[in-house]
């Protein structure tokens, strides 16, 4: 995973270790040369990590999606003891994968899910589904990006051949 952890405009790597539910976030893309800048404990075994700028402050923070409960857990700060935000999203469905992006170009990310060639996305944290779109096939992995520099993210999929 990657994110702009310090808010200065450069994405760097982050690692999520499920064995201890900890994100290790670096401000360099060479983790062997430095220690993580911060550690954030979030989640439990079986969750899927992701990141985003949830509050529009230009800094990304970690999140996890629990597919067994269909719930997103987010933090808006890398400070120890930061409150955890909890957002149920849709029904529990086997094979659901999370995705994050700024779908409406407002400067903050929100989340969505991908399930068998269908995306369900929301423009507000805790809000209803704003966008449904069909794209991809079974086995694809979702991701997002601003492919045309218009300030809005759109979805993509990765596929093993």
Q: In what order do the strands lie in the sheet with 97-101?
A: 97-101, 110-115, 118-121, 131-134
Q: Is the pLDDT of residue 9 over 90?
A: no
Where in the chain are the domains?
A: 2-158
Can you give the pLDDT at residue 110?
Answer: 97
Higher pLDDT, 154 or 43: 154
Q: For 116-151, give one letter per residue: b (16+ CB within 10 A) or e.
A: eeebbbbbebeeeeeeeeeebeeebebbbeeeeeee
Q: What is the pLDDT of residues 101-134, one digit of tens each?
A: 999 999 999 999 999 899 999 999 999 999 999 9
The DSSP bridge partners found for residue 24 are 15, 39
Average pLDDT (22-26) is: 93
CA neighbor of 120 nearest in space, from 85, 93, 151, 148: 93
Torsion-angle region of 92 (φ positive above 0: left; ψ -120 to 50: alpha; else: beta): beta
Q: What is the pLDDT of residues 47-80, one digit of tens each?
A: 999 999 999 999 999 999 999 999 999 999 888 7
Can you give the pLDDT at residue 96?
Answer: 95
Extract long-range pairs of 131-139: CB within 8 Å, 24+ residues apart.
Answer: 131/103, 138/95
Average pLDDT (78-101) is: 89
């Amino acid at each position: 995973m990657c994110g702009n952890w310090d808010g200065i405009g450069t994405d760097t790597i982050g690692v999520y270790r499920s064995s201890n539910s900890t994100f290790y976030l670096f401000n360099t893309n060479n983790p062997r040369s430095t220690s993580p800048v911060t550690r954030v404990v979030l989640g439990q075994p079986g969750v899927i990590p992701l990141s985003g700028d949830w509050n529009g402050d230009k800094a990304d923070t970690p999140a996890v999606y629990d597919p067994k409960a269909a719930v997103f857990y987010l933090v808006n700060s890398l400070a120890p003891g930061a409150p955890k935000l909890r957002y149920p999203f849709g029904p529990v469905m086997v094979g659901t994968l999370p995705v994050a992006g700024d779908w409406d170009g407002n400067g903050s990310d929100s989340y969505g899910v991908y399930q068998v060639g269908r995306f369900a996305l929301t423009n507000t944290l805790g809000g209803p589904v704003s966008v449904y779109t069909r794209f991809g096939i079974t086995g694809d992995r979702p991701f997002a990006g601003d492919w045309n520099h218009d300030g809005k993210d759109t979805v993509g999929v990765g596929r093993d051949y």
